[in-house]
Structure 1
Amino acid sequence: MSELAAESVQALTGHQEFLTFTLGEEEYAIDILKVQEIRGYDGVTRIANTPDYIKGVINMRGVIVPVVDMRLKLQVGEAVYDQFTVMIILNLGSRVVGMVVDGVSDVVALSEEQIRPAPEFGAALDTQYIQGLASIEERMAIVVDIEKLMSSSEMGLMDSVAEAL
């Protein structure tokens, strides 16, 4: 479905579709329109002097794609790579970025009423990238604004990593 068609469906139904994924015991959700593809986790080419959460880069059909390990980025325990580990390829504006997660759950349609505002933690915790908390059946998912999470300063760093090759 094209992005325009998906936005039309959202306008008609009042629902937005999200891809849910897991990191440890927690479930997260991101806007499905930002997702280009989901693929198994393969090795990446490590780049020296980058933060730990930037695993390296991959060559995807001629495009150099920086790869971010979300467990390390969000500080959700130690990263473990197994048969369930996947890479979600994102389109963020003019950039393509890969993010490594523990597993992909499903695609869910959420109404605005299902997404509650994120609690305020004050200056002790940076929650600017959290859009809210969504109730999905008997579970809770953290709805993430993936563009805010991959902030411009970090995206600039990832651009320089891609250009270094």
Structure 2
Amino acid sequence: MADDKQKIQNEVLQCVTFELNGEVYALDVMRVQEVLRVGEISPVPGAPDYVLGIINLRGKVVTVIDARLRLGMSYSENTDLSRIIVLEAAGQDVGILVDGVAEVVQIPRGDIDPSPSVGNEEAARYIEGVASRDKELVIVVDVDKLLSEEEWAELAAI
């Protein structure tokens, strides 16, 4: 049993890091399909407020959500650095709009501490943990918890 725990502690998580509101976040690189420049996003009437709309990605319709709004932050205008990270979650492709994408990093699982119960309750639901990297905190996002089962179903219906 201790060997299994040690293996997990030594396991390395490869992550794509991105910025939101000056903070560094990370997603499991295995869930990321591609990173796109922000282009035309078609609004969807009646969609939840965190849904920006849909994009056509080589003939496939992908719903785009605003990561800032989803994590309880205020809306911000897109910049030249803004990107859409297309990822697979709950059996569907979804894009998340972020302020910028930085790099792919390796974070040992043993370095990821459970997220502290401070700050925004809304955001805490989506956080897998926090790691310190190069004297900077990296917030690891749990893709599967980004939306509830009902919200994933709602997105699938868009």
The TM-score with structure 1 as length reference comes to 0.84
Question: Which of residues 121, 125, 130 in structure 1 aligns to 2:121?
Answer: 125
Q: How many residues align?
A: 150
Provide the residue aligned with 2:143 in structure 1.
146
Secondary structure in 2 matching 1:116? coil
Percent same amino acid among aligned pairs?
34
Equivalent in the alignment of 2:51: 54
5 Å-filtered alignment, 1:66-105, equals 66-105=63-102
CA distance in 2 between partners of 1:160 and 1:57 (Å): 12
Aligned equivalent of 1:6: none
- Deviation (angstroms), 1:85: 0.5
Q: Deviations over 1:11-47 (max 9, x none)?
A: 8x62110111001111111110000000101121101
Report the RMSD for the aligned CA atoms in angstroms. 1.9
SS at structure 1 position matched to 2:157: helix
* Greater than 3 Å deviation, 4+ residue runs: none
Question: What are the ranges of 5 or more consecutive residues in structure 2 without an aligned counterpart?
Answer: 1-6
- The equivalent residue for 1:24 is 21
Unmatched runs of 5 consecutive residues or more in structure 1: 1-9
The 2-side partners of 1:78 and 1:106 are apart by 24
Q: Higher mean Cα deviation, 71-80 or 23-32?
A: 71-80
What secondary structure sits across from 1:68 in the alignment? strand
Q: CA deviation at 1:93?
A: 4.2
